[in-house]
């Protein structure tokens, strides 16, 4: 019996699944994230530990191949990340092959085998163009300082800014002022709520800004004009990222013959019913070039890694019997 290993490695978690050649799930483990950009040594240790745990009750000698989908493994850092992953892989699964891609590639290939787009909005946001499973164009995904417009962290940061402006008489009234104060348990009758807000917000790690995103979307649904304006701006940016990815594909790979068929919406804000998804869908429907695309439901990205692992040795996995648990 042959085993195949798939991994979905992001900044917050490392997910590793092992299936056999019948498509049965033999092991599934979630461990701490692997961020090679900010903490490469920690990433190496986290991924290595999670892989060891996944292999714990299995014969590593039966593993035929593996594939790691890693956040940040684009062209700029591919060689560095690939070397680290090959090293930890060979130490635990000697003799088996390992391939590597970005997490965006496994997210798209898990859902579609056709040319098309991935539009992702979760903590971050990015639009991507794919042909034959290869990422050939992208727009945004530039992080919370330079971009990720329309993502959860961006929504939260914009919500904090709108609340601060309202409290500081620099912007229009918005219910976000009250909801943000309540979120941080700040008494609205305090002597200076602005200073209390500053003391809370400036202690936050940027990833914590995303906690305010649900307040923004809830206020938008309730009709708050400021919150709705934030959501509309985010939806505009997300749809612009799709056209930006198409333009980037033409510039980077003009001979690719890119002919998009499918559109995969992924990430928490676009794979579940949200007001920002509603606004994005409205804009897609109004754009003739995008409206003709076929929507494809997102699948667990790790399924894309498992398929790629099997393909590495010329094997096609049957439908996974436990895909719903990944």
With a cut of 80, say whether residue 243 has pLDDT above it.
Answer: yes
Place of tokens 């309540």: 182
pLDDT single digits (tens) 219-238: 999 999 999 999 999 999 99
Beta pairing partners, 88:
none
pLDDT single digits (tens) 51-81: 999 999 999 999 999 999 998 887 778 899 9
Q: Count the Cβ atoms, other than its own, within 10 Å of residue 10.
A: 18
Residues in the chain: 326
pLDDT single digits (tens) 176-223: 999 999 999 999 988 899 999 999 999 988 888 999 999 999 999 999
Mean pLDDT of the chain: 92
Q: Which pLDDT belongs to residue 268?
A: 87
With a cut of 70, say whether residue 324 has pLDDT above it.
Answer: no
Q: Which pLDDT belongs to residue 323?
A: 63
Buried b (16+ CB within 10 A) or exposed e, 84-106: bbeebbeebbeebebbbbbbbbb
With a cut of 70, say whether residue 321 has pLDDT above it.
Answer: no
Q: Which pLDDT belongs to residue 77?
A: 85
pLDDT single digits (tens) 264-288: 999 889 988 999 999 999 999 999 9
pLDDT single digits (tens) 30-41: 999 877 776 778
């Amino acid at each position: 019996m042959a085993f195949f290993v798939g991994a979905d490695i992001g900044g917050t978690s490392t997910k590793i699944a092992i299936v056999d050649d019948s498509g049965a799930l033999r092991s599934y483990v979630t461990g701490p994230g692997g961020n090679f950009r900010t903490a490469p040594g920690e990433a190496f240790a986290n991924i290595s530990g999670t892989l060891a745990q996944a292999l714990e009750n299995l014969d590593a000698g039966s593993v035929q191949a593996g594939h790691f989908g890693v956040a940040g493994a684009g062209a700029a850092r591919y060689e560095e990340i690939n070397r680290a992953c090959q090293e930890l892989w060979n130490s635990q699964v000697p003799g088996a092959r390992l391939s590597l891609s970005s997490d965006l590639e496994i997210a798209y290939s898990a859902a579609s085998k056709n040319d098309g787009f991935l539009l992702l909005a979760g903590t971050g946001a990015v639009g991507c163009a794919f042909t034959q499973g290869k990422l050939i164009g992208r727009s945004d995904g530039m992080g919370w300082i330079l971009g990720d417009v329309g993502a959860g962290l961006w929504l939260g940061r914009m919500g904090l800014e709108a609340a601060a402006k309202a409290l500081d008489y620099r912007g229009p009234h918005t219910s976000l002022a009250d909801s943000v104060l309540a979120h941080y348990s700040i008494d609205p009758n305090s002597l200076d709520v602005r200073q209390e807000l500053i003391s809370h917000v400036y202690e936050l790690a940027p990833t914590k800004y995303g906690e305010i995103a649900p307040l923004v979307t809830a206020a938008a649904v309730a009709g708050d004009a400021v919150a709705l304006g934030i959501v509309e701006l985010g939806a505009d940016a997300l749809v612009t990222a799709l056209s930006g990815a198409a333009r980037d594909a033409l510039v980077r790979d003009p001979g690719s013959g890119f002919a998009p068929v499918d559109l995969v919406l992924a990430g928490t804000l676009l794979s579940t019913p949200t007001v920002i998804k509603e606004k994005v869908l409205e804009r897609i429907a109004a754009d003739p070039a995008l409206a003709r695309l076929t929507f494809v439901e997102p699948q667990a990205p790790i399924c894309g890694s498992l398929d790629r692992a099997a393909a590495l040795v010329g094997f096609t996995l049957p439908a996974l019997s436990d895909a719903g648990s990944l």
